[in-house]
Structure 1
Amino acid sequence: MKHILIIEDDANIAELERDYLHLHGYHVTIIGDGLLGLKHAVSGTYDVVIVDLMLPNKDGLQILKAVRSKSEIPVIIVSAKTDDIDKIRGLGYGADDYLTKPFSPAELVARVKSHINRYERLMGKNIGAEILIHKGLEVNTASHQVLVNGKEVIFTAKEYELLVFLMSHPNIVFSKDHLFMTIWNEEHFGDTATVAVHVQKIRKKIEKNPANPQYIETIWGAGYRFNV
């Protein structure tokens, strides 16, 4: 599931964007502050960044420049500024697109999809192949190898998929329902035993002390997150 970051201080606009993106299968994080948005945007955990120009603490152009110094992921500017100079400046700093408010949420979704497809074509079909590393844990998504302190550990397909998903979205809490629907591709309400059992199995394979995990943390009443 592609993860979209929306940096927008107008809650109504951000929530409308989120709802349309959710309907089309995207996972969305909303940040309303420019400084916090900048920290998220450069984290490397998002597939697209949608950013307003006028934000508290850090403006959208500062965020755009910071992202471009680290990554070529698609960045879409949405702004009430309609002057050509603002569009030229945004595109000149490396934005992939510029939408002027008000705009159609359906158009935003179409542009998000288009930019993701273009980015993946430019990067090649193995864009998803990477090495995820944290402390003594290493996952090679090309070879599907998992190393714990340099030693290969064997995972079932679903254990592997769940581990990679959590590692690819560090410090984000996912509910058991969300994880079940993402990994098993089924609607799931109430019975969370499958996810809990798989997390327990993964912990036994990667954690020094599964009862006191350092990687996959249980957030009681909310779900799980991968700590970095």
Structure 2
Amino acid sequence: MTDTRILLLEAKKQFPSSFMLDLQRKNYSVLLENSVSAASKTIKSFKPEIIVLNACSMHTSGTRMCLSLYKSYKRLNLSCKIILIVAKTPQYKQKQYVDLTLVQPFTSRKLLNAVKRLAPVPEKNWRSVGPLKFSYKQRRVKCWNKEKLLNPKEARLLQTLINRSGSTVSRKHLIKQIWETDYLGDTRTLDVHISWLRRAIEKDPLNPQILKTVRGKGYFLDISNDQTK
């Protein structure tokens, strides 16, 4: 078995659970529960690192169930990630206590890739840069005692800025590196990704102390040690 413990929550009629079989084939340690109340008790004893909630099998959006599970592991001071499986794309913004939403139908590989990204990162895979700890492979960043999962573009953006930390990186360079184009007619996409990245690494995204704007030039990743004080 791997060190990653997974709690799978889905309806009883899902037997045998294809998700459970897929996860076990990859040697994950998996327990299956069929209700939130049972899952909450299992959280205390099993201490899962990832919860996979198959809300689709229960004909529900899963929002309230995720919140209940989130409260259960927070009360125990545990760290856990939640993957929510739904039948259709939610009409609302993903809740902060849901780390990843998968919309059926999808292949087992997609679920396994999601689990791999959310699984605890081995210490050797973290890159420490000033107040940041970053794993490009698993697209995860730690800063200010919080850990965030980045989307692919955010991860490439942060990697590029880290590689040029201490120097101003032009908007043109970032657009060329991340989006592989020289077109500068519309830079709003870059602005949006910078905003998202600041939410992941800044204490106050509206008053950035790490990812700073250099007016008329680009962006500057300030990784001086005194930022953590």
Using structure 1 for the length normalisation, give the TM-score: 0.44
Using structure 2 for the length normalisation, give the TM-score: 0.43
